[in-house]
Amino acid sequence: MVPRRSVPGRGGLNLAENVTNGPKSVFIEQGGVRLHAYDHGGEGKPIVLLVHGAIAHSRWWDGIHPALSEFIRPVTVDLRGHGESDWATDYGYDAFTSDLDTWIRWATEEGGEPPGVIGHSFGGVTSLKLHENSRPEIRFLVAVDVPLEASERILGPMRRIADRPERPWASRELFIEKFRLVPPGGTTDPELLAHLAKHSVREQEDGTWILKADKSFHRDRQATSLRSSWKNVAAPAMLVMGGESDRLSEEDLDWLRENCPAIRLETIPDAHHHVFLDEPEAFIRVTRDFLSHILS
Q: What is the CATH number of the domain that holds 238?
A: 3.40.50.1820
Query: What local confidence, expressed as pLDDT, does residue 12 receive?
Result: 37
pLDDT at 21: 57
Low-confidence spans in the chain with pLDDT less than 50: 1-20
Would you say 51 and 115 are in contact if contact means Cβ atoms under 8 Å apart? Answer: no
Domains identified in the chain, total number: 1
Extract long-range pairs of 221-225: CB within 8 Å, 24+ residues apart: 221/91, 221/150, 221/155, 221/158, 221/159, 222/93, 222/155, 223/149, 223/150, 223/151, 223/152, 223/155, 224/93, 224/125, 224/129, 224/149, 224/150, 225/148, 225/149, 225/150
Question: pLDDT tens for residues 95-145?
Answer: 999 999 999 999 999 999 999 999 999 999 999 999 998 999 999 999 999
Q: Look at residue 296 in the predicted model and tell me its pLDDT.
A: 79
Residue at 256 is within a domain: yes
pLDDT at 161: 74
Answer yes or no: is 180 within a domain.
no
- Residue 204 belongs to a domain: no
Entry field: residues in the chain: 296
**In-domain check, residue 194:** no
Longest Cα–Cα distance in the chain = 57
Would residue 239 count as lying in a domain?
A: yes
193 assigned to some structural domain? no
Determine the pLDDT at residue 11: 39
Tell me whether residue 186 is in a domain. Answer: no
Domain that holds residue 59: 4-151+221-294
Q: What distance, in Å, lies between the first and last C-alpha atoms of the chain?
A: 25
Residue 231 has a pLDDT of 97
Structural domain contains residue 28: yes
